[in-house]
A and B are shown apart, each in its own frame.
Chain A
Amino acid sequence: GAGVSQSPRYKVAKRGQDVALRCDPISGHVSLFWYQQALGQGPEFLTYFQNEAQLDKSGLPSDRFFAERPEGSVSTLKIQRTQQEDSAVYLCASSLLWQGKETQYFGPGTRLLVL
């Protein structure tokens, strides 16, 4: 595709609901990252995939957060039993190969509001 796309763009959830956020990376990009951006803050790393392998999930804040990329392209970030502190913009980024000065291309983000 032309760029990284994410859906939905906005999501309102009631506390305790499960949500699923989708990321479509640029076609052919091997590396995929998820970041969480709280209001007024910079993005913070959540997890990283190389193809379908989740190589780093050290940034996931709790076991309520789960990410997958089963076929090495589309990725889904799932948040179970959402809490108000989960309200943030969730950014997906992809790169051809995450090495050297390779840049990450970001999607528009999904803004999650938990009521």
Chain B
Amino acid sequence: AQTVTQSQPEMSVQEAETVTLSCTYDTSESDYYLFWYKQPPSRQMILVIRQEAYKQQNATENRFSVNFQKAAKSFSLKISDSQLGDAAMYFCAYRGYSGNTPLVFGKGTRLSVIA
């Protein structure tokens, strides 16, 4: 079974600085998808960024980018120019290539942004 590990329960960053959240995963599949979701306090979980494993190029979405290292099974999220609104729980998630597999989530990292 696939597993996702987020080894940083909590992180903090100064406003306007850069922070990197770590994620590792375990799978025997060669094709899969990886996601970072953001869950603000008492609000809905929303997708931040996603990566297809067959793409070598790292995904970017504005201030958010990933460092995808397939051989190391590592998928870290970098947030640049951190803003107060970035404060939330961040979950790394994996899904297999076949159509009906659910998302497998890590335990999350709570990010605080200090003004």
Residues in chain A within 8 A of chain B (CB atoms): 3-4, 33, 35, 40-45, 48, 50, 55-56, 59, 91, 93, 98-101, 103-104, 106-109
Contacts and interface: CB of A to CB of B under 8 A. Distances in A.
Interface size, B (range) = 20 to 34
Contacts of B114: none
Contacts of B47: 103-104
A4 B44 CA distance: 9
Contacts of A56: 100, 102
B99 A45 contact: no
B44 A3 contact: yes
A101 B105 contact: no
Given A43-B91, A43-B105, A107-B44, A48 B52 contact: no
Contacts of A101: 33, 50, 52
Interface in B1-45: 4, 6, 33, 35, 37, 43-45
B77 to A, nearest CB: 15
16 contacts: A33-B103, A40-B107, A42-B6, A42-B91, A42-B107, A44-B105, A45-B104, A55-B100, A98-B100, A99-B99, A103-B35, A103-B47, A106-B44, A106-B45, A106-B46, A108-B43
Contacts of B37: 106
Given A91-B45, A107-B44, A108-B43, A43 B100 contact: no
Contacts of A59: 102
Interface of B: 4, 6, 33, 35, 37, 43-47, 50, 52, 91, 93, 99-100, 102-108
Contacts of B35: 103
B42 to A, nearest CB: 8
A26 to B, nearest CB: 12
Contacts of B44: 3-4, 106-109
B107 A104 contact: no
Contact of A42 (B50, B52, B102, B108): B108
A101 B63 CA distance: 21
Nearest to B105: A42
